[in-house]
Amino acid sequence: MAVERTTDPDRHPLVDRRTLLRGTALAAGGVLLGGMMGVAPAGVASAAAKPKVYTRADWSARPPKNKIELLSKGPTHIVVHHTATGNTSDTSAAHAASLSRSIQRYHMDSNGWSDTGQQLTISRGGHIMEGRDLSLQAIGDGKHVVGAHTANHNSHTIGIENEGTYSSETPPKALMGSLVDTCAWLCLVYQLDPAEAIVGHRDYNSTSCPGDELYSMLPQLRKDVASSVRKQLTHLSQVTGAELTLEELPTYPRVPQAERAVPYYHGPAVGDLDASP
């Protein structure tokens, strides 16, 4: 069920894949995130595009069991997951905090991991929660916290868990709106092409995650994120009055084409090529 990522014109609504962000910058007035007056690109993007994210302190996270691995190079892909939990009607921030504690408890106590596996979690109410320790700090610095969410690809992917099970039901609008905001923020921080960088868990591993319905929405998600990126670049141009130069986009590892979706299977999250989770 994986898809080819280099030939479908609908996957590239702006320009050629290698120059999508460059073209977006020109359309927005000639700015992008290559550096401005000594300010790091991640810092510029974070200030302009960061949505409201509840910190680990906000949801009373436990400290990790072991030191979390931090890489100086940012991720190349954003992996969309679903939590495979109930589709609750509780959209409160208190519920989102409880969900984060529940996920952390399961990952640490049942799986034996150092901490929560994913870097970010979005509740059905649209509340965005920091996941693995140091994730927000790493994003702000343009770095990468290695998680435990996509087997054998955790060193170059950042994972977003979306609350619910989306095998036959679509996610609520509040969740999808926050997912767009989150992906746009990450694409700006890490200079990622939304058409290439946003993938589903099943694109890398044999799993049904993120569910047939949410997976079918990824093409539209990529387009919505690209539109949001354009708006953010326009905003940066107006606010700074400065022209940014574009650094080279990351090299995108080819998404495996031979994987299959396994019904109702949520993993795997850790593989032989991953360090200790």
Quick check: is 193 in a domain?
yes
**DSSP 8-state class, residue 4:** -
- The enclosing domain of 133 has a CATH number of 3.40.80.10
pLDDT in tens, 204-243: 998 999 999 999 999 999 999 999 988 877 767 666 665 5
Q: Is the pLDDT of residue 30 over 90?
A: no
Would you place residue 16 in the very low, low, confident or very high pLDDT band (cuts 50, 70, 90)? Answer: very low
Quick check: is 70 in a domain?
yes
Q: Say which residue, 214 or 8, is predicted with more confidence.
A: 214
Q: What is the mean pLDDT of the chain?
A: 81
Cβ atoms < 10 Å from Cβ of 110 = 8
Q: Say which residue, 13 or 274, is predicted with more confidence.
A: 274
| Burial of residue 218 (number of CB atoms within 10 Å: 0-12, 13-18, 19+) | middle
d(CA 104, CA 83): 12
Quick check: is 249 in a domain?
no
Quick check: is 75 in a domain?
yes
Quick check: is 10 in a domain?
no
d(CA 81, CA 121): 9
Q: Is the pLDDT of residue 15 over 90?
A: no
Long-range contacts of 138-141 (CB under 8 A, 24+ apart): 138/70, 139/42, 139/46, 139/185, 139/186, 139/189, 140/42, 140/43, 140/46, 140/189, 141/40, 141/42
Number of independent structural domains in the chain: 1
Quick check: is 86 in a domain?
yes
Give me the percent of the chain exceeding a pLDDT of 90.
Answer: 61
Torsion of the alpha carbons at 5, 10, 16 and 20, rounded to the nearest 10 = -90
Quick check: is 19 in a domain?
no
Tokens of 58: 């906000």
Range of the domain at 119: 49-229
pLDDT in tens, 155-206: 999 999 999 999 999 999 999 999 999 999 999 899 899 999 999 999 999 8
Quick check: is 93 in a domain?
yes
CB contact at 8 A, 130 and 56:
yes
